[in-house]
Amino acid sequence: MPATKEGDRVNFPSYPHEVLAVVLSVRDGRLCVLLWKRARSPHRDRWALPGGGVESTERFREAITGHLAAKVDVRDVAHLEQLATHSRVDRDPRARVLATGYLGLVPSDVEPDLPSDTAWHPVEELPRTAFDHHHFIEAATGRLRAKLSYTNIGFALAPLEFTIAELRDLFGAALGYQPGATNLTRVLTRRHVIDPTDRRASSGQSGGRPATVYKFVTRELTVTDPFAVLRPPR
Amino acid sequence: MPATKEGDRVNFPSYPHEVLAVVLSVRDGRLCVLLWKRARSPHRDRWALPGGGVESTERFREAITGHLAAKVDVRDVAHLEQLATHSRVDRDPRARVLATGYLGLVPSDVEPDLPSDTAWHPVEELPRTAFDHHHFIEAATGRLRAKLSYTNIGFALAPLEFTIAELRDLFGAALGYQPGATNLTRVLTRRHVIDPTDRRASSGQSGGRPATVYKFVTRELTVTDPFAVLRPPR
DNA sequence: GAGGTTTTCGCTCCAGAGGCGATAACTAGG
DNA sequence: CCTAGTTATCGCCTCTGGAGCGAAAACCTC
Q: A15 contacts in B (CB within 8 Å)?
A: 14-15, 17, 54
What is the rounded distance in angstroms from the CA atom of residue A27 to the CA atom of residue A213?
A: 21
Q: How far apart are CA A149 and CA A2, in angstroms?
A: 47
Residues of chain B with Cβ-Cβ distance to A82 below 8 Å are: 84-85
Asked if A60's CB is within 8 angstroms of B179's CB, the reply is no
DSSP-derived secondary structure for B199-211: EEPPP-TT--PPP
Do A183 and B230 make contact, defined as CB atoms within 8 angstroms? yes
Neighbours of A152 (CB within 10 A): 22
Q: Which nucleotides of D are covered by protein (CB under 7 A)?
A: 4-11, 17-22, 25-29
- CATH 3.90.79.10 residue ranges of chain A are 17-148
pLDDT at B200: 87
Instruction: Write out pLDDT tens, residues A104-156.
Output: 999 999 999 999 999 999 999 999 999 999 999 999 999 999 999 889 999 99
Burial bucket for residue B188 (CB in 10 Å: 0-12, 13-18, 19+): buried
Residue B176 near residue B156 (C-beta atoms within 8 A): no
Q: How far, in Å, is the CA of A195 from the C1' of nucleotide C14?
A: 27
Q: What is the pLDDT of residues B36-65, one digit of tens each?
A: 999 998 999 999 999 999 999 999 999 999
> How many contacts does A have with B, using Cβ atoms within 8 A?
160
If you average pLDDT over each of A175-184, A201-210, B103-112, which comes out highest?
A: B103-112
B10 or A24, which is more confident: A24
* Alpha carbon of B87: minimum distance to chain A alpha carbons (Å): 5
Query: CA-CA distance, B42 to B38, in Å (whole number)?
Result: 8
Q: Testing the interface with B: which of A81, A82, A87 to mutate, by most B Cβ within 10 A?
A: A87
The proportion of chain B whose per-residue pLDDT surpasses 90, expressed as a percent, equals 81
CATH class of the B17-149 domain in this structure? alpha beta
**DSSP bridge pairs for A101:** A20
Class of domain A17-148 (CATH, top level): alpha beta
Contact assignment for A85 to B88 by CB distance below 8 Å: no
Q: Is the CB of residue B215 less than 8 Å from the CB of residue B162?
A: yes
Q: What is the three-class DSSP state of A227? A: coil
CA max distance for chain A: 78
Q: pLDDT digits over B62-98, tens only?
A: 999 999 999 999 999 999 999 999 999 999 999 999 9
Question: Which among B59, B88, B229 is the nearest to A87, CB-wise?
Answer: B59
Q: Out of B94, B226, B233, whose CB is closest to A10?
A: B94
pLDDT value of position B231: 61
Confidence of residue A225 (pLDDT cuts 50, 70, 90): low
**pLDDT above 80 for A229:** no
Mean pLDDT of A30-35: 98
Check CB contact under 8 Å for A54 and B7.
no
Name the segment(s) of chain B with CATH classification 3.90.79.10: 17-149
Task: Say yes or no for a CB contact (<8 Å) between B14 and A10.
Answer: no
Identity of residue A119? A
Q: Is the pLDDT of residue B229 over 60?
A: no
Of the options 1.10.10.10, 3.10.20.30, 3.40.50.1980, 3.40.50.300, the CATH number for the domain spanning A150-216: 1.10.10.10
Average pLDDT over residues B170-195: 93
Confidence band, pLDDT 50/70/90 cuts, at residue B8: low
Return d(Cα B106, Cα B197) in angstroms, integer. 23
Nearest-CB residue to A17 (from B55, B98, B230): B98
What pLDDT sits at residue B41?
87
Helix (H, G, I), strand (E, B) or coil at A22: strand
Question: What digits encode the pLDDT tens for the residues A89-108?
Answer: 999 999 999 999 999 999 99
Beta strands A98-105 and B47-48 are unpaired
CA distance A74 to B99: 26
Q: Please compute the mean of the pLDDT values over residues A156-172 and round it to a whole number.
A: 95
The share of chain B scoring above pLDDT 70, in percent, equals 90
Interatomic CA distance for residues B82 and B80, integer angstroms:
7
